[in-house]
Amino acid sequence: MKIILAPMEGLTDVHMRHILTQMAGQTGFDWCVTEFIRITQQLLLPKAFYHYCPELLTNGKTASGTPVHIQLLGSDPQLLAENAQRVVELGAPAIDLNFGCPAKSVNQHRGGAVLLEEPELVHQIVLAVRNAVPKQIPVSAKMRLGVNDRSKMVDNALAIESAGASWLTIHARTKADGYRPPAHWHELATIRQHVKLPMIANGDIDSVTNAQRCQQQSQCTDIMIGRAAVIQPCLIRALRGETYQLTWAQLLDWQRQFLQHMQQAVVNPLVVDSQQKWTEAGAVGRYKQWLGMLLQAWPEAQTLFQQIKKERSYSQIYQIVQQSA
């Protein structure tokens, strides 16, 4: 069984990838995927790719050795192909194409899930990227079940398969569904009747029980987990069959490391205006975001959240976290 850490815009940046893949242990994630990199009008400079994926400077892997796949989003097949070729030259181990983002700000510019209304364009994009990069570099796609309904879900899967994709990840909802439960895992089994392409199931996999239910209903062995991995950082270990129990004290220590990683990230001379560059406001906001999500599974987080929620000083927040027990 392969388990992948999902790309989540505004959440799984280099710092979160660093911590979550470290916490996952030696048998953790098979790979993770960057936040989407929007491709609109031009061939991006190397610094833009380093901005989203500083791991390109470390052989395309996190500190724990987890490969980081680059996700591209756009609607111009040739431009996506040229950018895929460039980022592969920079060291990307694999390319993923985004046909799943439901955000209006993305969809109104013909990016993400809205493209599922045009299976032929989806095919052209995957084909162009597949032809642009070396054969040994995997090219995958991530899609939803459709835009407003599921009528084209099989057409899109076939379009992606016939273009030569290495595998297909499916979030088991339409764009219109957003993130409202339930995830329609059974529809992946329907798609599987029509394609031989390896498939990865995604959506509402937030426990071992739900992972097993998803696998059974979708007929997919491989799974991708997203927000649940952030809220329950050791869910991955449970999915691997480990009996490891994470304590709040241990999770506090990981939070300290997360804060330190944001502060101490070194800007490579090749990377100008890199996401690696630490800013106080950015670090404070990102930590509050994570702690706010931890509230959903960790009652102990409530006291700490109340202490830091109005703080704007990184040093003050770090001191509070250091003194917490």
% helix, strand, coil for the chain, step of 5: 45, 10, 45
Structure confidence by residue, pLDDT tens digits, 24-77? 998 999 999 999 999 999 999 999 999 999 999 999 999 999 999 999 999 999
Q: What is the CATH number of domain 3-239?
A: 3.20.20.70
Tell me if 218 sits within 8 A of 248, measured CB to CB. Answer: no
pLDDT of residue 310: 94
* pTM for the whole structure: 0.94
Distance of CA 235 to the CA centre of its chain: 16
Residue ranges of domains in the chain = 3-239, 248-323
- Angle (CA) 270-21-215 rounded to 5° is 130
Mean pLDDT taken over the chain: 94
What CATH fold (topology level) applies to the domain 248-323?
Answer: Bacteriocin As-48; Chain A (1.20.225)
Dihedral (Cα; 141, 135, 39, 109), 10-degree rounding: -40
| pLDDT mean over 156-166 | 98
In the residue annotation, 101 being an active-site residue is answered as yes
Q: What are phi and psi of 35, to 5 degrees?
A: -55, 155
Structure confidence by residue, pLDDT tens digits, 254-284? 999 999 998 876 444 444 444 445 678 888 9
Distance of CA 318 to the CA centre of its chain: 27
What is the CB-side half-sphere exposure of residue 53 using CA atoms within 13 A?
A: 32
pLDDT of residue 281: 87
Output the 3-class SS for 211-263. Answer: HHHHHHHHCCCEEEECHHHHHCCCHHHHHCCCCCCCCHHHHHHHHHHHHHHHH
Q: How far apart are CA 59 and CA 242, in angstroms?
A: 29
pLDDT of residue 275: 46
Q: How far apart are CA 113 and CA 101, in angstroms?
A: 5
Long-range contacts of 179-184 (CB under 8 A, 24+ apart): 183/214, 184/145, 184/150
Structure confidence by residue, pLDDT tens digits, 296-321? 999 999 999 999 999 999 999 999 99
Q: Which of 6, 244, 239 is nearest to 140 (CA)?
A: 6
* Burial zone of 225 (CB within 10 Å; 0-12 exposed, 13-18 middle, 19+ buried): buried
Does the structure show a pLDDT above 90 at 109?
Answer: no
Q: Which of 231, 205, 234 is nearest to 294 (CA)?
A: 231
How many C-beta atoms surround the C-beta of residue 316 within 10 A? 13
Q: Which of 18, 9, 1 is nearest to 222 (CA)?
A: 1
Q: How far apart are CA 101 and CA 141, in angstroms?
A: 12
Does the structure show a pLDDT above 50 at 16?
Answer: yes
Which residue out of 53, 101, 214, 234 is catalytically annotated?
101
